[in-house]
Amino acid sequence: MSAPPKKSTNGSPGKKPQRFLRDRSAFRGCFSIIVFLLIWELGTRYGLPILKAIPPPSAVLSAFKESFVDPAYWGDWGSSFIRIGLGFILAQLIGIPMGLLMGTSRFFRELSLPVFEVLRPIPPLAWVPASALFWPTPEMSIVFVTFLGAFFVTILNIVGGARSIDARFIRAAVSLGSSRRDIFWRIVLPATLPSIIVALTVGIGVCWNTVVAAEMLAGHSGLGFLTWRAYVTFTYPLIVVGMISIGIAGYISSAIIRVLGSRMTPWLKTN
């Protein structure tokens, strides 16, 4: 980092201060992570209260190294992602059309929304025992609970989004000669797209919360199960490996959705 940038330097004004800011905030970010790791390492080594029960970062690191070459570890990644994938995608495949239908048809909304309003406040995990009764295998009940986590979020967001479409857009489209099909595909759907993307973003987070807990309760594989098993088998560094892995997995999923979302709504880009 050099001297503070002047307002009108050669070539591209505005670009330099931005990079300068980004460098500085990146530096601060790294700094805080390093300090965090340092406190953690020293705290465990010198037996600070609370921290002394936790494996030090160095132990976690070597556990990570072992996990990296262990196919079972990647198997856990795989099974969590498959559950998320199934539950989340099913929730969208069913939830998006249903939400749009409920958002655009008053008849259908008044008929079905009350049921959703009643079921929505029930946390997905409270469904675990019931879904164990519904479904023949634990695998299915985990996917089902994951599905529920995203399903209600999707429905309610999309209903809200579709209902808040500005009447002027519909009027203008009708005046210009749109058919009902046009209204749906060219007006209602794009107007609801931002809400759909919000639903996806929130939904994927809820899905990870749910799947991890469900795996701890009822699973035989997956990142949540890995973390829980590590606790039960006293391999404490693996607990942290599991936690960090879940964090990374969640981050990757949200990042994918974020990129997809901004690709799908280019008009929302601020410039």
Partner 1 sequence: MPQPIVNGQNGHYHVLAQAASAEMTVENVRKSYGFHPVVKVLDDCSLVLENRKLTVLIGPSGCGKSTLINILAGYDMPDSGKVTIDGQPVRGPGRDRLVVFQETALFPWMTTFQNVSYGPRVRKEMGKEALQAETMKLLKLVGLEAFADKYPSQLSGGMMRRAELVRALINRPKVMLMDEPFRGLDAMTRELMQEYYVRLFETKPGTNLFVTTEIDEAIFLADRLVIMSNRPASIRKVIDINLPRPRKFQMLTSKEYLGYKRDALEILHVEAMKAFAKGKQDAADFMEAYSKTAGNP
Provide the binding-site residues for partner 1, judged by CB under 8 A.
Answer: 166, 168-169, 171-179, 182, 186-187, 190-191, 193, 265-268, 270-271
Alpha-carbon gap, residue 226 to 174, rounded angstroms: 56
- The nearer residue to partner 1, 140 or 191, going by C-beta atoms, is 191
Of residues 52 and 180, the one with the C-beta less far from partner 1: 180
Residue 269 in tokens: 């880009």
By C-beta, is 41 or 182 nearer to partner 1?
Answer: 182
Tokens for 185, please give them: 């595909």
Q: What per-residue string of b and e applies to 41-54 under the rule 16 or more CB within 10 Å gives b?
A: bebbeeeeeebeeb
In whole angstroms, the minimum distance from the beta carbon of 159 to partner 1 comes to 19
Min. distance of Cβ 178 from partner 1 in angstroms? 5
CB within 8 Å of 34: residues ≥ 6 apart:
none
What is the smallest separation between the CB atom of 200 and partner 1, expressed in angstroms? 17
CB 189 → partner 1: shortest distance, Å? 9
Q: How far is the CB of 21 from partner 1 (least distance, A)?
A: 24
Whole-number minimum distance, CB 197 to partner 1, in Å?
A: 12
Record the tokens describing residue 207, joined without a space.
């899905």
Residue 189 CB coordination number (10 Å)? 15
Rg (CA), the chain: 24
Q: Which is nearer to partner 1, 123 or 190 (CB)?
A: 190
Closest to 226 measured CA to CA, from 235, 81, 140, 66: 235
Question: How far, in Å, are 54, 169, 189, 196 from residue 97 at the CA level?
Answer: 47, 21, 10, 11
Q: Which is nearer to partner 1, 32 or 262 (CB)?
A: 262
Is 54 within 8 Å of 231 (Cβ atoms)? Answer: no
Please, which residue, 70 or 166, has the CB nearer to partner 1?
166
Q: How far is the CB of 181 from partner 1 (least distance, A)?
A: 9
Beta-carbon count within 10 A of 270 CB: 3
Closer residue to partner 1 (CB): 132 or 187: 187
